[in-house]
């Protein structure tokens, strides 16, 4: 079982795209996305220095553009990925890459959205000097308590002994001088306190753009970095992309969902390395690959052959997506809707899935007529498992 993961801001390094430009068509595709983004992604990925690509307004389109174009090297035909990949996920801005790869939005829509996201977050960051620091090691509860004691936000819960604190530069300096017991504090090369309330002004901007974006339901499982839930609805995924700029990233829960799915292989697309490092510690036994250059493509193609499983995910890919509701997490299902033939109202809750931590609602975004239940009350379910076929309302 194979997953593809897409890195976030801070993973970029000067010149990381240089070897990729040798591939046929890569430069042309990246120049096309450059036109959409309104900046020269080719130059930023090959010639710009570290300080230039640290700029939020540059880094975010560069990371998403690089990921989208490099993904085409993994699959000759994009539809192959939908059939072979069990799930996709992205860390922070990488979730936009994952959403576009899953068919929620087009590459062009993704580039416009990330362009405006980068500008809005850069403007929010300019209001007051802020930043982020990684806290490595220590007792997880004590780490979070110390971060919050200094007035900071645990903005990235990355698992594998890593939490990222975000806030003002003064707060981060205080944390470095007074760290949690048995922990190291390492400043990160980012230009703001992302995934905190410091980014609230950007949410309003992005919400306006999101209302104008048409979406499609995901063609493979999308694991949300907000809570590790599998999201199928394109509109719900877009809403999460808007809100995530001020909400913490729970990559620890994302990796737990990978474990619940039974993932055996994980490939991280460029600029790769960070997420594979976390997976090696949190997902023992899972084969990982950081796709850093075209030299890694033979290994990636082998992993796709060995870990991809054709036909296993056809319940999501091949069925009309507007007739299918899925389980967001691993747990026990409680069926709340009526029997086949009954009508449910738009937005109504048709089932819940309970885990050891909490309960997740499964709603019918369009409403409609119940065609067929694919589970029974009390059944154990896995993330992304189909629960109900629903014929949507005509209105």
Tens-place pLDDT, residues 85-103: 999 999 999 999 999 999 9
**Whether residue 109 sits in one domain with residue 219:** yes
User: Among the three residues 286, 307, 328, which one is the final residue of a domain in this structure?
Assistant: 307
Q: pLDDT tens, 125-181?
A: 999 999 999 999 999 999 999 999 999 999 999 998 999 999 999 999 999 999 999
User: Among the three residues 139, 160, 187, which one is the final residue of a domain in this structure?
Assistant: 187
**Whether residue 213 sits in one domain with residue 255:** yes
Residue 70 among the catalytic residues: no
**Whether residue 233 sits in one domain with residue 118:** yes
Mean pLDDT of 205-211: 95
pTM of the model: 0.89
**Whether residue 352 sits in one domain with residue 231:** no
Q: Does residue 315 lie in a domain region?
A: no
CA distance 99 to 365: 19
**Whether residue 143 sits in one domain with residue 115:** no
Per-residue pLDDT at 234 exceeds 80 = yes
* Identified catalytic residue from 73, 92, 133, 233: 92
Q: Does residue 107 lie in a domain region?
A: yes
Q: Which domain holds residue 157?
A: 126-187
Q: Does residue 284 lie in a domain region?
A: yes
Percent of the chain residues past pLDDT 90, beyond the cut: 78
Go through 62-93 and write b for each residue having 16 or more CB atoms within 10 A of its CB, e for each that does not: bbbbbbbbbbbbbbeeeeebbbbbbbbbbbbb
The predicted pLDDT at position 306 comes to: 94
Q: Does residue 312 lie in a domain region?
A: no
Q: Does residue 192 lie in a domain region?
A: no
Per-residue pLDDT at 33 exceeds 60 = yes
**Whether residue 85 sits in one domain with residue 139:** no
CATH, residue 355: 2.40.50.100
* Identified catalytic residue from 44, 195, 232, 307: 195
Q: For the ranges 11-15, 315-319, 349-353, which has the lowest average pLDDT?
A: 315-319
**Whether residue 131 sits in one domain with residue 119:** no
CA distance 388 to 11: 39
Q: Does residue 314 lie in a domain region?
A: no
Q: pLDDT tens, 353-387?
A: 999 888 999 988 878 888 889 999 999 999 999 99
CATH, residue 157: 3.30.70.250
User: Among the three residues 307, 329, 356, which one is the final residue of a domain in this structure?
Assistant: 307
Mean pLDDT of 36-54: 96
**Whether residue 117 sits in one domain with residue 33:** yes
**Whether residue 381 sits in one domain with residue 334:** yes
**Whether residue 101 sits in one domain with residue 140:** no
Q: Does residue 53 lie in a domain region?
A: yes
**Whether residue 168 sits in one domain with residue 33:** no
In three-state secondary structure terms, 218 is coil
CB 106 within 8 A of CB 24: no
**Whether residue 205 sits in one domain with residue 100:** yes
Residue 92 among the catalytic residues: yes
**Nearest CA among 27, 49, 246, 227 for reference residue 155:** 246
CA distance 103 to 217: 7
The predicted pLDDT at position 313 comes to: 47
Distances (CA, A) of 7 to 115, 157, 235, 246, 351: 17, 15, 22, 18, 33
CATH, residue 268: 3.40.366.10
Q: pLDDT tens, 252-309?
A: 999 999 999 999 999 999 999 999 999 999 999 999 999 999 999 999 999 999 999 7
Q: Does residue 15 lie in a domain region?
A: yes
Write the DSSP symbol of residue 391.
E
The predicted pLDDT at position 68 comes to: 96
Question: What total of structural domains would you count in the chain?
Answer: 3
Q: N- to C-terminal Cα distance for the chain?
A: 39
């Amino acid at each position: 079982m194979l997953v593809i993961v897409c890195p976030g801001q801070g993973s970029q390094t000067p010149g990381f795209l240089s070897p990729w430009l040798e591939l046929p068509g890569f430069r042309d595709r990246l120049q096309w996305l450059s036109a959409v983004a309104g900046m020269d992604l080719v130059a930023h990925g090959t010639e710009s220095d570290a300080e230039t690509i640290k700029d939020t307004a540059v880094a975010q389109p560069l990371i998403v553009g690089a990921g989208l174009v490099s993904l085409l090297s993994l699959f000759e035909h994009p539809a192959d990925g939908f059939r072979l990949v069990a799930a996709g996920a992205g860390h922070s801005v990488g979730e936009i890459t994952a959403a576009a790869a899953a068919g929620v939005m087009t590459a062009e829509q993704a580039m416009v959205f990330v362009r405006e996201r980068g500008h809005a977050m850069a403007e929010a960051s300019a209001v007051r000097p802020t930043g982020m620091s990684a806290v490595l090691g220590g007792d997880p509860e004590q780490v979070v308590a110390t971060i919050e004691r200094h007035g900071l936000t645990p903005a990235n819960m990355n698992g594998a002994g890593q939490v990222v604190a975000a806030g003002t530069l003064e707060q981060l300096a205080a944390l470095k001088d007074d760290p949690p017991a048995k922990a190291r504090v390492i400043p990160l090369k980012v230009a703001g306190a992302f995934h905190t309330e410091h980014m609230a002004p950007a949410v309003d901007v992005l919400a306006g753009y999101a209302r104008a974006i048409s979406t499609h339901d995901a063609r493979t499982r999308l694991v949300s970095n907000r809570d590790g839930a599998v999201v199928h609805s394109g509109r719900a995924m877009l809403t999460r992309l808007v809100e995530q700029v001020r909400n913490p990233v729970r990559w620890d829960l994302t990796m737990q969902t990978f474990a619940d799915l039974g993932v055996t292989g994980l490939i991280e697309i460029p600029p790769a390395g960070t997420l594979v490092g976390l997976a090696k510690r949190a997902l023992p036994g899972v084969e990982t690959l950081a796709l850093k250059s075209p030299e890694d493509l033979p290994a990636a193609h082998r992993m796709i052959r060995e870990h991809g499983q054709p036909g296993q995910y056809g319940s999501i890919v091949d069925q009309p997506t507007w007739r299918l509701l899925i389980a967001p997490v691993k747990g026990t299902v409680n069926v709340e809707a009526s029997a086949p033939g009954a009508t449910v109202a738009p937005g109504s809750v048709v089932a819940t899935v309970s885990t050891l931590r909490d309960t997740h609602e499964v709603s019918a975004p369009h409403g409609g007529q119940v065609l067929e239940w694919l589970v029974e009350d009390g059944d154990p379910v896995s993330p992304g498992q189909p629960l109900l076929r629903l014929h949507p309302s005509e209105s």
